């Protein structure tokens, strides 16, 4: 029997290798062939993202971001640390 190497089968010489189940080495599960594409789901709700407060944090601290509000109206709040003082000119 001739062996046709198949790029999708990791170049292995197994007849019909792409039609045979594969073993997932990570969790020992059996992976079958990919099925047909399902129907498109409904369109999700659009959101509104508003910039809330932008605060200057102390030098050397971490930047921070939080999102508050409830769907579909959210508010993005930011804290950005102050940079180091530059050289005088």
For the chain, give the percent of residues with pLDDT over 70. Answer: 65
What is the extent of the structural domain holding 58?
48-81
pLDDT-derived band of residue 20, with 50, 70 and 90 as boundaries? Answer: low
Asked if residue 1 has pLDDT above 50, the reply is no
Whole-angstrom Cα distance, residue 75 to residue 73?
Answer: 7
Domain presence at residue 77? yes
- Report yes or no on 60 lying in a domain: yes
Q: Say if strands 73-81 and 64-70 run parallel, antiparallel, or are unpaired.
A: antiparallel
Q: Is residue 69 part of a domain?
A: yes
Residue 4 resides in a domain: no
Query: Tens of pLDDT along 38-64?
Result: 999 999 999 999 999 999 999 999 999
Contact of 30 with 54, CB cutoff 8 Å: no
Predicted TM-score of the model (pTM) = 0.50
């Amino acid at each position: 029997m001739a062996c046709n190497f198949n790029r999708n089968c990791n170049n292995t010489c197994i007849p019909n290798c792409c039609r045979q189940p594969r073993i997932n080495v990570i969790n020992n599960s059996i992976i079958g062939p990919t099925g047909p594409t399902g129907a498109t789901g409904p369109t999700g709700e659009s959101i509104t993202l508003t910039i809330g407060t932008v605060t200057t944090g102390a030098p050397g601290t971490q930047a921070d971001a939080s999102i508050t509000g409830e769907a579909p109206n959210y508010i993005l709040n930011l804290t950005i640390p102050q940079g180091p003082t530059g050289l005088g000119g």
